[in-house]
Amino acid sequence: MHGAETPEAAAAIRETYDTRVMKAIAVAARADLGKVAPYASVVDRILFDARAPKDATRPGGLGVPFDWNILEGLDLAKPFVLSGGLNMGNLAQAVRIARPHGVDVSSGVERALGVKDANMIRAFIGAARGAEASLRTATANAG
């Protein structure tokens, strides 16, 4: 869900269709995290995305990252996914700061607007696996 759906709508979809539900939360400031609580008991995952610019015609960060430090140390009872402006060049830093359970990419693997590039997708997956391995190593060394 990447729109203005209410927690009640999310719960109804989950129950009616017996499916998992992920809700996108637009983030620009730490105060935006207050939007998570009403969804916490009715969705399976939260996706944090950059807030769309005021003149945007569609939701999402539209290839622009938000300040991942907003999510640093976030302790959710739910897994969360990080989205918004991710690409091979910033993925490792984003994962190190936010420690998401997953990442979402769109424009970060496009060679032109709306045109995905298979080589960029493969490279992004490689970078994601490398970031995950680095995070596991850092966690093991800290504990």
Residue 71 lies in a domain: yes
136 or 31, greater pLDDT: 31
Of the pLDDT bands very low, low, confident and very high (cuts 50, 70, 90), residue 3 is confident
pLDDT of 58 reads 66
Write down the pLDDT at residue 39.
95
pLDDT in the model for residue 59: 60
pLDDT of residue 141: 83
In a domain, 75, yes or no: yes
Sign of CA dihedral 54, 82, 99, 35: positive
Considering the entire predicted model, what is its pTM? 0.87
Tell me what the pLDDT averaged over the chain comes to. 90
Q: Is 17 inside any structural domain?
A: yes
The CATH number given to whatever domain includes residue 57 is 3.20.20.70
126: pLDDT strictly greater than 60: yes
Polymer length in residues for the chain: 143
Residue 1 lies in a domain: no
Decide: helix, strand or coil at residue 12. Answer: helix
Q: Which domain covers residue 120, as residue numbers?
A: 7-141
Is residue 2 situated within a structural domain? Answer: no
Q: What is the pLDDT of residue 62?
A: 67
pLDDT tens, residue by residue, 58-111 = 665 567 899 999 998 888 888 999 999 999 999 999 999 999 999 999 999 999
- As for how many domains the chain has, the answer is 1
